[in-house]
Structures are given as C-alpha cells and as structure tokens.
Amino acid sequence: MSIPDEKRIEAQEKIDALHRANVLGQLIQTEGWKLIFGLQEAAVEKSRVALRGVNTADVPATIDAVQRWQIAENLLAFQVDYINRTLADAEAIQGSVTLDDALLMEQLRNDKSGTGDPGRPDPTGH
C-alpha cells in the first residue's frame, strides 16, 4: 500500500518546521546571536535617542530620524515575530503528531538520508 502524496508532503512540511525550530533554537543560544541581537537593540535605542534630540524645525532631519527609528524597530520586531512564530509552530506540531505521523516522518527521514535499515521491517506496514 502506497502512502498518498499529500500525506508525504504534509509529513515533510512537519519535518521541515521542526528542523527550522531546532536550528533556530540552537542559533539563538549562541554568543554570536546574542551579540547581534544586543547590537540591534542598541541600534533601536540609539534611534530613539536621536529622534528625541532632533530639531523638529529641520524637516529632512526629522524624517530621516523617524525612518531610521522605524526601520530599526521593524527589523527587531520582524525577527522576534519570526522566532516566536517558528517556535510556536513547532510546539503545535509536536503537540499534535500522531503515532502514524511520527512513523511516516521517520520513514521520510530515513528515505531522504538513506540510513534506513533494509533488514528492519517497515514500522508502518507498507
């Protein structure tokens, strides 16, 4: 009995989401990431300070300061949102994976990596 393509695609998407979350989880714990994130937070604060100190009579300088602050804020917010969304997606997948899903995901991983044990019976019965 063959596994339908949509089931394979769905399982592969779950594998990919879990992999992204795993890699991202490892990345955000590195010193390099913490440094980069800290520098971005500092850039946001620097933009805020510059915005507070701008002479509002100087319209081009005011517009420039507002744009710099918005870009810094948006970049940081985008990254935080991406991290939170990626980790939440993985958590939702982990909480909803059935035994059949897990077996299919393992079969796909083995098929992809070529590490499946040819002598071992297929746990899905296919």
pLDDT tens figures, 51-103:
888 888 889 988 998 998 999 999 999 999 999 999 999 989 888 887 887 88
In a domain, 120, yes or no: no
Which region, left, alpha or beta, applies to residue 114 given φ > 0 means left and ψ of -120 to 50 means alpha? left
**Most distant CA pair in the chain, distance:** 79
Model confidence pTM above 0.85: no
Report the range of poorest mean pLDDT among 23-27, 35-39, 59-63, 118-122: 118-122
> How many domains are contained in the chain?
1
In a domain, 118, yes or no: no
* 116 pLDDT more than 70: no
In a domain, 14, yes or no: yes
Q: Which residues contact 28 (CB under 8 A, 6 or more apart)?
A: 34, 37, 83
- Express each pLDDT in 6-16 by its tens digit: 888 888 898 89
In a domain, 124, yes or no: no
Average pLDDT on 110-115 reads 70
In a domain, 51, yes or no: yes
CB 104 within 8 A of CB 3: yes
Q: What's the confidence (pLDDT) of residue 42?
A: 93
Average pLDDT, the chain: 84
- What's the domain range around 100? 7-113
Q: With bands split at pLDDT 50, 70 and 90, how would you rate the model's confidence at 124?
A: very low
